[in-house]
A and B are shown apart, each in its own frame.
Chain A
Amino acid sequence: MKSQDKGLIYLYCLTNKPPHQYIGGGGKIPKLKEAEDLVDNAHFLYYQGLYAVVSNVSTDEFSEENLKNNLADLEWIKTKAGIHEKAIETVMKNSCVIPFKFGTIFNTEENLKIMLKKHISKFKDTLKYLEGKEEWGVKIYCDIDKLKENLIREDKEFLNIDKEINSVSPGKAFILKKKKVELVNTNVNKKLNDYGQLIFEKLNQHSIESRINKLLPKEVTERKEEMILNSAFLIKKNKVENFMEAESALKEIFQEMGFFLDCTGPWPPYNFCEATTYGAKRTPACRQAGKLYG
């Protein structure tokens, strides 16, 4: 544990299940067997009914200064965040987890235990609450040009304006054209909100809790369509099938109009591990929520 280059403790997640099912050999420290090829020396630390899934990481990578440098390296982030996710997913296969944010690091086991002690009842309540539930994500994208074309084609008002433009003086036509552009834009925005809300509400019927998160730019989404809704749902396991059926149906209906639904899951409950928001529906994303533990 105290080897020179593995001096830090990286925390992936907490769980409340005894880890005996993961033990490879008869070692003292239960190991996270399936993630061994991914995470060097991942193992469990027991504290008062909780199991912290941790690994020893090197200061070369994770000291404050080195981590800051590494965060500038996108490939490094992708690799390490992938490991973070995989480690948690491995545990998630067999038990309920509280995922921690990427890069939650302690100098010593003692410090980790002090943190656990401080929040133990909250963590236990959260795990109890999350039992039998899954997080699913739905992101909606829109091909705005396609939506525009559809609106112009289907709305008679625009046809009438076009007719008028062709029959009036150039000066008046200019004003009418401007009016048309404004009208199209207003309609597009209205449709984005209306349809986005409609889809969200339909999906939300199957969830226990939901979040609307910030939109992400194209550089991040790597898609040509605009993201118009970024949502996360906490769903009872036995309702996931219903949720997915609803999602498929909506996907088909809205595709014609230029909307694309991207549904992923089950995720570790990244969006639903604040202990104080139990049962709250449609809570807007709260960036500061994590601070509840701080």
Chain B
Amino acid sequence: MEYVTTKSKDVTLLEVLDRVLDKGVVISGDLVISLAEIDLIYVGLKVLISSVETMERLRGAPFASPMQEPT
């Protein structure tokens, strides 16, 4: 069966921060970008960083919602 299996997939800033810089295998290479360095990108974007929690939310834990299975 022939069908189109690609959708709009620009490598936008959103996808850069959500995938390319954030996911993928992380190994103990000689040089790996740290979380603190990725935080600097958010600061550079002038995302208001008012508290530690905000930063955690931006780069850390997914939001709490009923969609998650209880741990």
Contact = CB atoms under 8 A, between A and B. Distances in A.
Interface of A: 8, 11, 62-64, 67-68, 71-72, 74, 77-78, 81-82, 84-86, 98-107, 111-112, 115, 119, 134, 137, 139, 193, 196-197, 200, 212-217, 219-222, 229-230, 237, 240-241, 244, 263-268, 270-271, 273-274, 282, 284-285, 287, 290-291, 293-294
The bracket for how many chain B residues form the interface is 35 or more
A215 B63 contact: yes
Given A71-B41, A115-B29, A220-B47, A214 B13 contact: no
Contact of B32 (A84, A101, A270, A273): A101
A196 B65 CA distance: 10
Of residues A82, A229, A284, which shows the largest number of chain B Cβ atoms within 10 Å of its Cβ? A284
B7 A264 contact: yes
Contact of A284 (B23, B42, B69): B69
Interface of B: 1, 3, 5-9, 11-33, 37-38, 40-42, 44-47, 57-63, 65-69, 71
Given A71-B33, A102-B20, A267-B19, 10 more contacts: A72-B40, A101-B20, A101-B32, A104-B26, A104-B29, A107-B30, A217-B47, A219-B45, A282-B68, A284-B71
Contacts of B28: 115, 293-294
The B contact surface, by secondary structure, is: loop
B65 to A, nearest CB: 6
A17 B8 CA distance: 27
Given A68-B37, A100-B27, A104-B29, A230 B67 contact: no
